[in-house]
Structure 1
Amino acid sequence: MNVGIGLPIGDPTTLLTWARRADAGPFSTLGLLDRLVYDNPEPLVALAVLAGATSRIRVQTEVLLAPLRDTALLAKQAATVDRMTGGRLVLGLGIGGREDDHRAAGTDLRTRGRRLDEQMAVMRRLWSGEPYGDGVGPIGPAPARPTGPEVLFGGFRPAALERVARWGDGFLAAAAPSWADGLFETVRAYWRRYGRDGEPRLVAQVNVALGPQHVIDEARAALHAYYAFTGMADRMVAGLLTTPTGIRDTVTAFAGLGADEVMLYCYGLDPAQVDRLADAL
C-alpha cells in the first residue's frame, strides 16, 4: 500500500523543503487542502511549483473545491499540470461547506453538488478533446491520459459516494478506519451498480504530528483553527495521531480494509516530520 504526505498550509515557503524530502523518501503522493477564505496557498498553483521541484512523486488536491471555480478554466489548469508533470496530477474534488467561500466566489452554496456534476460532464468532454459547445471549440492542452487526470471525490453523503462511480476513478475518505469501512463498501456497491470495470481507488486520510511537543502543540492549534467552522474541532484534534505506533497501527488497519493509499496529513510546519514518518513506517 502507498503512503503519501499531506502538506501543512501554515507557511507556503516551507513546502519546497517538504516536497523535496518526500520525493527522496518512500512516499507516493503530496497532498494539499483547499479553501478560499483562509490563509492557505491555492492548491493547483502550489502543487505546480512543487511538481517542478520533484521528479517522481504525485501531486494531489485533497480536496479542490471545484464549484468555486470556473469550469473551463479549471479543466485547462488541471490538464496543463497533468501534461507538464507526465501524469503526476491526482485531482481530488469536493463541494465544500463554508458559506464564506461560496460568497467570495459568487457561487451558490445550495446547488454546489449539482454544479460539480455539471462541471464533471464538461471537463470530461474537454479532456477528451471535444469542443466546449455552442460555437466554442476545444480547450487544450490535452492531458497526459486521454480521459484526463485521475479524479478522486471526497465526501460522506450518498450523493458524494455515488459521484465516485458516476464520474470518478476513486474515493478520498477523511475518516477513521471504523467509519471508513462502511464508506468503502458503499463506494464499491455504487461502482458495481454503474457497471464500472475493476475497482475504485480507495485513499484514506489521517491527521498526524510526529516530533517534539512544540510540533504537536502547533499541529493541534492549526488543526483546531482549520476545523473550527464545523463545530467538531475538538474531536478532530482528539483524533490527531502523535506516536509511531499509532500511525503504524492506523496504516495497517486501512490496509486491512483494502485501501490503496493512506495520506498522512501534517499540520505542524517542521519538515523534519517527513523523515520521522519515514522512519516510523
Structure 2
Amino acid sequence: MNIGIGLPVGDPTTLLTWARRADAGPFSTLGLLDRIVYDNPEPLVALAVLAGATSRVRVQTEVLLAPLRDTALLAKQAATLDRMTGGRLVLGMGVGGRDDDHAATGTDIRTRGRRLDEQMAVMRRLWSGEPYGEGAGPIGPTPARPGGPEVLFGGFRPAALERAARWGDGFLAAAPPSWAGGLFDTVRTFWKQYGREGDPRLVAQVNVALGPPPVVDDARARMRAYYTFTGTPDRMTAGLLTTPAQIREAITGFADLGADEVMLYCYGLDPSQVDRLADVL
C-alpha cells in the first residue's frame, strides 16, 4: 500500500525541505489542504513549486475547494500542472463548508454542491479537448493523463460519496478506520450503480505527529487553531497519532479495509518528521 505525507501549512518556506526528503524516501504523494480565509499557501501554486523540486512523488490537493474558483481557469491550471509534471497531479476536491471562504470569493455556500457537479461536467469536457461552449473554443493544454488528472472527492455526506463514483476516480476519507470502512463501502456501491469499471481508488487520511514533546505540542496547537471554527477543536486533536505503534496500527487498519493509500497528515513544522515516519514504515 502507498503511503503519502500531508504537508503542514504553517510555514511555506519549509515545504521544499519536506518535499525533497519525501521524494528521497518511501513516500508516494505530497498532499496540501486548501482554505481562502486562512494563513496557508495556495495549494496549486505551492504544489507546482514542490513538483519542480521533486522527480517522483505525486502532488495532491486534499482537498481543493473547487466551488470557490472559476471553472475554466481551474481546468486550465490543473491541466497545466498535470502536463508539466508528467501526470503526477492528483486533484482532490470538495465543496468547502466555511462561511468566510465563500464570503471572500463571492460564492453561495448554499449551492456549493450543485456548483461542483456543474464544474466537473465542464472540466471533464475541457480535459477531453472539447470546446468550452458557444463563443469559446477548447482550453488547453492537453493533460498528461487522458481525460484529465486523477480526481478524488472528499466528504462524508451521501452526495459527496455519490460524486466520487459519478465524476471521480476515487475517494479521499479523512476518517479513522472505524468510520472509513462504511464510507468506502458506500462509494463502492455507488461505483457499481454507475456501471463504472474496476474499483474506485480509496485514499485514507490520518493526522500524525512524530517526535519529541515540542514537536507533538506544536502539532496539537496548530491543529487546534485550524479546527477552532468547528467549535470542537479538542475532539479533533484527540485523534492525533503520536507513536510509531499507533501509526502502524492505523495503516494496518486501512489496509484491511482495502485502502490503496494512506496520507499521514502533519501539522507540526519539524521536517525531521519525514525521516521518523520513514523509519516507522
TM-score normalised to structure 2 length: 1.00
Partner of 1:97: 97
Per the alignment, residue 173 of structure 2 pairs with 173
Match of 1:227, SS state, is: helix
Measure, in 1, the Cα distance between the counterparts of 2:184 and 2:229.
Answer: 26
Gaps of 5+ in 1: none
Match of 2:16 in 1: 16
Aligned residue for 1:65?
Answer: 65
What letter matches 1:130 in structure 2?
Answer: E
Aligned to 1:5: 5
Which residue is equivalent to 2:29? 29
1:195, 1:204 → 2: CA distance? 24
What residue is the counterpart of 1:233 in the other structure? 233
- Paired with 1:231 and 1:171, the residues of 2 have a C-alpha distance of 26
Q: Match for residue 45 of structure 2?
A: 45
In the alignment, what sits opposite 2:150?
150
Task: Name the residue aligned to 2:81.
Answer: 81
> Is 1:137 matched up with 2:137?
yes
Partner of 2:268: 268
Q: Which deviates further from its counterpart, 228-237 or 253-262?
A: 228-237
Range with greater deviation from structure 2 (49-58 or 224-233):
224-233
Q: Which residue of 2 aligns with 1:189?
A: 189
| SS at structure 2 position matched to 1:91 | strand
Partner of 1:209: 209
User: Matches of 1:145 and 1:248 in 2, distance apart?
Assistant: 33
Distance 1:73 1:24 in 2: 33
In the TM superposition, what is the alpha-carbon distance from 1:230 to its structure 2 partner? Answer: 1.2
Identity %: 84
Residues 191-249 of structure 1: CA distance to partner in whole angstroms, max 9, x if unpaired? Answer: 00000000000000000000010000000000011111112311110000000000000
Distance 1:112 1:267 in 2: 27
Measure the CA separation in 2 of the matches of 1:28 and 1:233.
29
Equivalent residue letter for 1:226:
Y
Secondary structure of the residue aligned to 1:141 is coil
Opposite residue 124 of structure 1, the aligned amino acid is R
Deviation at 1:158, TM superposition (A): 0.3
Structure-2 separation of matches of 1:170 and 1:121: 16
The CA distance in 2 between the partners of 1:275 and 1:236, in whole Å, is 25
* Runs (5+) with no aligned partner, structure 2: none
TM-score by length of 1: 1.00
What's the secondary structure of 1:87's corresponding residue? coil
Structure 1 distance, partners of 2:252, 2:147, is 32
Aligned residues: 281
